[in-house]
Amino acid sequence: MAGETGRCSCPGCTEPPIAVLRGSGERLCTRHFTASVECRVRETVEGGGMVRDGDIVAVGLSGGKDSTVLLHILSRILLDCPVRIVAVTVDEGIAGYRKETIRAARSIAAVLGVEHIVVSFEELCGRTLDALVGELPMHPCTICGVLRRRVLQTAAGNIGAARLATGHCLDDEAQSALMNVLNGDLGRIARTGIPDAGVLVPRIKPLRSIPEKEVTLYGIVQEIYTPLPECPYAGEALRSDVRGFLSTLEYRRAGTMTRLMAGYDRLRARVGGCAGAGRVSCPECGGPSTGGRCRVCELLGQAGRR
């Protein structure tokens, strides 16, 4: 994508292009590439009615590239809007990893002048992820995913947020969509995008139409991209396989992920009315559940018995 030769596609622009957009073939210089990404995110936010005047928007900020780019773009496109942005970083309790990413998150929030809070697994769940990994016989990514969602929801609810923005880009969304199909998880497909009973704050994904490569390039040209260590628990088998498969298809047939998401959204709309698509509240904690005890209470209950 980077280092393209020739001229920018924009009329009258003589700057050298740094990127060719895979879907449209446009060759864009730094200025016009930046404007293109921000324009598409703005269209996603405004077209989806994601943010309203007076809202408090909680932004999940891990310190990694996607969430950093998300916070940076939202702080720009919402600059003149009467909204308050609060960055929320979750400290899962991963030795030798999380401290560095928290420093990166604090740094970008300070540069942007955005309020920043840090919440931890230990504070809200009573245990660090490292401790839970030693107590539960399941993949660390599964444990982390369940608890991170709850911790972010709780933190967003505590600050009175109307929306919780996460940095899921097109690649992330396409991978999740294909995983749901491969797993035959009709219930999860039906629930995608539907507010859950018991959820404090509706989640929004402003980067859902932006490919990961463009997110990375945006971070580089805006000088906000900082290489960070990979989580020691990363590498969930199915997602890794799906990521590789989709990346290959996207390279060979540009637009594969965009078309996949368009079809998935149509499928979701068709099955959204299926019986059992919605959720109920957990009888123990009041959080969202597909029936009976929620996943958070199940996990913490299993850990407590071991």
113-172 pLDDT tens trace: 999 999 999 998 888 999 999 888 888 888 999 999 999 999 999 999 999 999 999 999
Q: Tell me the pTM.
A: 0.89
Q: Helix crossing, 170-182 with 212-221: angle to 10°? A: 160
| pLDDT of 216 | 95
Residue 1 in this model has a pLDDT that exceeds 60: no
Q: Which tokens hold the place of 172?
A: 């992330």
Asked if 296 contacts 150 with a C-beta cutoff of 8 angstroms, the reply is yes
Asked if 126 contacts 163 with a C-beta cutoff of 8 angstroms, the reply is no
Highest mean pLDDT among 36-40, 270-274, 281-285, 291-295: 36-40
Say how far apart CA 203 and CA 215 lie, in whole Å. 20
Say how far apart CA 289 and CA 281 lie, in whole Å. 6
Number of C-beta neighbours around residue 22 at 10 A:
19
Q: What domains are there in the chain, each with its CATH number?
A: 49-305 (3.40.50.620)
Cα torsion 191, 64, 73, 245: sign: negative
Closest CA to 88 of 111, 112, 113, 109: 109
Asked if 61 contacts 89 with a C-beta cutoff of 8 angstroms, the reply is yes
Asked if 233 contacts 150 with a C-beta cutoff of 8 angstroms, the reply is no
Cα torsion 187, 188, 194, 200: sign: positive
Say how far apart CA 138 and CA 174 lie, in whole Å. 24
pLDDT tens, position by position, 50-89: 999 999 999 999 999 999 999 999 999 999 999 999 999 9
Asked if 85 contacts 114 with a C-beta cutoff of 8 angstroms, the reply is yes
